[in-house]
Amino acid sequence: MFKRQNRLPRGVGFYNSNFFSTPFFVLKVKGNGLIVNRFGIVVSKKIDKRSTVRNKIKRIFRSILIDLNKDIISGQDMLFIVKKEILNKTNNKIDLQIRGVLEKARLINRLK
């Protein structure tokens, strides 16, 4: 679970944000003017009707983002909108996609 300061609150608009698309998800990024990063993960019922599957996807994303947060440039709001292609993918493939898109967005300080 993210700390409260790292959770993206409801109602934050991403109107003039940067947009990055991968086969597994869409990432919307904008600056927030704070010293912390805030993350939001959207997994709709179109992905899977079962809440257990949707929650598992969110847990995978959260664990990867918690590990990467120390390497990400501070002061960003990030919204991950998951696509249906994420089903039956391994954690390593998802991790590589997230790292790749953050590197493409120039949000990562250094890669491991």
Is residue 110 over pLDDT 60? no
Half-sphere exposure of residue 12: CA atoms within 13 angstroms, side-chain side:
17
Share of the chain above pLDDT 70, in %: 97
Q: Find the CATH number of the domain harbouring 84.
A: 3.30.230.10
The token duo for 56 is: 């598992």
Q: Would you say residue 8 lies in a domain?
A: yes
pLDDT digits (tens, 9 = 90+) for 4-28: 888 898 888 889 889 999 999 999 9
Q: Would you say residue 111 lies in a domain?
A: no
pLDDT digits (tens, 9 = 90+) for 85-95: 999 999 999 99
Range of the domain at 8: 4-104
Q: Would you say residue 57 lies in a domain?
A: yes
Q: Would you say residue 109 lies in a domain?
A: no
Question: For the chain, how many structural domains are there in total?
Answer: 1
Q: Would you say residue 112 lies in a domain?
A: no
pLDDT of 6: 87
pLDDT digits (tens, 9 = 90+) for 26-73: 999 999 989 999 999 999 999 999 999 999 999 999 999 999 998 999
Is residue 83 over pLDDT 50? yes
Q: Would you say residue 110 lies in a domain?
A: no
Q: Would you say residue 72 lies in a domain?
A: yes
